[in-house]
A and B are shown apart, each in its own frame.
Chain A
Amino acid sequence: MNNILIIARKEVQEGLRNRWVFATTLLLAALALTLTFLGSAPTGNVGANALDVVIVSLSSLTIFLVPLIALLISHDAIVGEVERGTMLLLLSYPVGRWQVLAGKFLGHLGILAFATLLGYGAAAAALATMGGIVEGGSLVAFAKMILSSILLGAVFIAIGYFVSALVRERGTAAGVAIGVWLLFVLIYDMALLGLLVVDQGQLIGGSVLNALLLANPTDAYRLLNLGSGDVSALSGMGGVAENAALSPGVLVSALAIWALMPLAAAALVFARREL
């Protein structure tokens, strides 16, 4: 256990030193604040709860940005260290390979969580100080949004590790990571939409659609944050969410499985890899 913390600590230390933490936090905060101010302009003081609007915009931002940041941090984690030669030395120490992976995961997730918490938190704080209406329910939804964003980050960090453990060169890892991002963030949904239009409800029933939505972690995240409560009406996801009928518990479990499976696969591949 101690070894995991030692490695996590070093990852955070490196992240602070090479400005990863700083850059990520700044990026998320800047975008979140921009969306907050732009988003609250049209609603003014009446109409929709300002924080709900922010949740909708930030969730959409998260779906694009958090997987990208997570893959950027993680795709290099194994293959990069192997290529630079630092992994060889590290593995000659009394530390297991799974501990190296778990430590890196903890460290990278810590960096991402810190950036998300601070960046999005800044948006909520800004809204509160501007005197926007912040209801308790919206606040809970906002907290849930932040936590699930971190969980989505965990999913893509894990996927990044799996890619990193599989490939032989850093360049390949970067290419595959971009492919993964495109697939889950853009292509999958377009293909799904196309499929639904063509199918016209003939073959794809509710349960098949559910399975298809759970098969993409970003869709699970989207349903989790945009599909319930007041937010669903704003986001236009209400219709899908009602038909999908997936409870938050199921969606969170799906995300957790999406994080653990690639992580386990990465550990398995890494354990067998010869240096």
Chain B
Amino acid sequence: MRAETVLVAGVTKSYGRVCAISDVSCELREGETIALVGHNGAGKTTLIKLMLGLIRPTSGTVKVLDEDPASGRFEARQRLGYLPENVSFNLALTGRETLAFYARLKRVPLASIATLLVRVGLGEAADRRVGTYSKGMRQRLGLAQALLGRPRVLLLDEPTTGLDPALRRSFYDIVAELRSDGATVLLSSHALTELEGKADRVVIIDRGAKIADGTLEELRRIAQLPTRIRLRVTEDAADRVNEWARTSGWRRVDGHLLEIDAGPDEKIRLLRSAASADAPVADLDVIPPTLDELYAHFLGAREGGG
């Protein structure tokens, strides 16, 4: 088991009567990329602020790199990168000056910032005022400051908002690099779909409570979501098709298409019957549950459970 970098144990955070986070526990390990998924206002940012020590938990403990982040000691913060949601900078300074300021605070050699600016695609714009930057460029400058000093833990709050697809791809390349370097990367997002293949583990939170935690495969297994099988039937006699569809429980989409939602245990049986020689089937598609459906399932399960 890889070493643990962030530990959140039984943490509750309430503002007056409003409970932003209730009894959340999770641990993040080195070399792991974790997706923190939840609706806007579910408590993602609050959880990240707790890990940063910007707010104190009402109860429970938070440990980041073996240090209480709210203790006022800063060894851990030296090795921590943070990209806030809607990052903003002083507009009067240039990108290079801004990055130099943060590098000084982190005791990172200033020689490294030129390379960093090029890495996030701001080499050309480095000496322009941040005020002239587009939203995507500010986001990239935000990413650059989070990457200062080879961080061991990166907390990125909705990092890809405002990035176009090409930049998004280069962003995930950087994340993959950091992961292979052994850093813990926490990505928060309100959509699960975008993170497919990017995250080793998914933590779903809803209204301040953790409702799922595991790899995508584990979550799929837990959710037991049906796989949709869709058939295009042959141009045979309509009667025979109707008869066949009715006995196996297929429902009609239109004149030529049939579909069924197959649970994991009946999937193979249904596929065999559809592929058998006497079935009036011309074509067949298997559509696994999408991540959005998976996400909706976990949210719905909590809804149903009370």
Contact = CB atoms under 8 A, between A and B. Distances in A.
Chains A and B are bound partners: yes
Interface of A: 3, 6, 10, 13-14, 17-18, 84-86, 88-96, 274-275
Contacts of B56: 274
B126 to A, nearest CB: 16
5 contacts: A85-B87, A85-B88, A89-B88, A92-B52, A94-B75
B305 interface: no
Contacts of B15: 274
Interface stretch (B98-106, B167-175, B212-220, B286-294): B98-106
Contact of B78 (A13, A18, A94): A94
A93 B93 contact: no
Question: Interface size bucket, B side?
Answer: 20 to 34
Contacts of A6: 101, 104-105
Given A17-B93, A85-B87, A94 B74 contact: yes
Contacts, number: 60
A275 B48 CA distance: 12
Which of A13, A18, A94 has the most chain B CB atoms inside 10 A of its CB? Answer: A94
Contacts of A91: 52, 54
Determine chain A's interface SS by DSSP, over half rule. helix
Interface string B57-81: 0000000000000001011011010
Contacts of A10: 93, 101
A275 B55 contact: yes
Contacts of B72: 96
B93 A13 contact: yes
Interface of B: 15, 49, 52, 54-56, 72, 74-75, 77-78, 80, 82, 84, 86-90, 92-93, 97, 101-102, 104-106, 142, 145
A86 B141 CA distance: 13
Given A85-B87, A89-B82, A95 B74 contact: yes
A86 B90 contact: yes
A105 B86 CA distance: 27
Given A3-B105, A92-B52, A94-B105, A84 B78 contact: no
Contacts of B74: 94-96
Contact of B84 (A3, A18, A85, A94): A85
Contacts of B105: 3, 6, 90, 93-95
Nearest to A11: B90
A90 B80 CA distance: 13
A30 B146 CA distance: 45
B102 A93 contact: yes
Contacts of B88: 84-86, 89
Contacts of B89: 86
A80 B101 CA distance: 19
Contact of B92 (A17, A85, A90, A94): A17
B14 to A, nearest CB: 12
Which of A13, A14, A90, A92 has the most chain B CB atoms inside 10 A of its CB? Answer: A92
Contacts of A90: 105
A275 B49 contact: yes
A32 B240 CA distance: 103
Given A13-B93, A13-B97, A89 B87 contact: yes
Contacts of B101: 6, 10
B242 to A, nearest CB: 62
B54 A18 contact: no
| Shortest beta-carbon contacts, A-B, top 8 | A94-B74, A94-B77, A17-B92, A92-B82, A85-B88, A93-B105, A18-B92, A6-B104
